[in-house]
Amino acid sequence: MLDAVFPPTCAGCGLVGEHFCGRCKAAVEEVLPPWCTSCGQTVAMPGVDVCRECVVERLPLAGVRSTGLMRGPLRKAVHRLKYRGATAAAASLAELMAAPARSLLAGSTVTSVLVVPVPLSRARQRERGYNQAERLAAPLAGILGLNLATSLLRVRDTAPQVGLSRPARRANVRGAFSAASVVENPGAVRRKSALADACVLLVDDVTTTGSTLGSAATACLEAGAQTVYGVTLARGV
């Protein structure tokens, strides 16, 4: 009924009819394999499982995948979702993330899998009114039949990552996240994170160097997660 009154507009091209139309889906550029097993970018040399940057400093991720490169209609969709309040498109965009997410989780032997959005700072979320990663993570969890967990917190404000070098990006987000803990029972002193013993699928809108995902993964592992993967809508170029 809402679609009849307020027809959906494609977040990629602006045409009326769908939140992300078939033509824009076909125009999404794949992140070509082989992928770096640390940050998920295309590795230039076949037979090498990590990129040059991750040889120097490997991220604590078991794998990262993205729907496509941050170009064309996908770039426009990310910007509209992130900065223009086009949250109605999130469910359609999350559908595109299901295949890369499944390819990651196919290698997991952990039975408990949680979908965890990368959080914004309180100030940034208050300013924007929502967290675009959470808007993607919720429908993605439903598509995959997994539970959504918002146990990861951003405990330190960080400068924008745009324009920073890879070392500067990693330094900028180091220690920016923490996983919330819950009391196991009212009389217990020991506290246990909701992420303990789980396989975590981190969700974000964009990754470029993997620095934010890496910092978030560190917090998840410190909270007791067994394995952490990352999936994003787009990969920066």
The pLDDT tens digits of the residues spanning 160-171 come to 777 677 777 777
The letter for the amino acid at 157 is D
pLDDT at 31 over 90: yes
Q: What is the pLDDT of residue 190?
A: 53
If you average pLDDT over each of 121-130, 137-146, 170-179, which comes out highest? 137-146
Q: What is the pLDDT of residue 237?
A: 84
Q: What angle do CA 204, 207, 212 make, to 5 degrees?
A: 75
pLDDT at 175 over 70: yes
pLDDT at 187 over 70: no
Domain ranges of the chain: 18-235
pTM here is 0.90
Residue 85 is encoded by which pair of tokens?
């309040």
Q: Output DSSP code: residue 87.
A: G
Pairing of the two strands 177-179 and 152-154: antiparallel
pLDDT (mean) for 97-122: 93
Right CATH for 18-235 from 3.30.420, 3.90.1570, 3.30.70, 3.40.50? 3.40.50
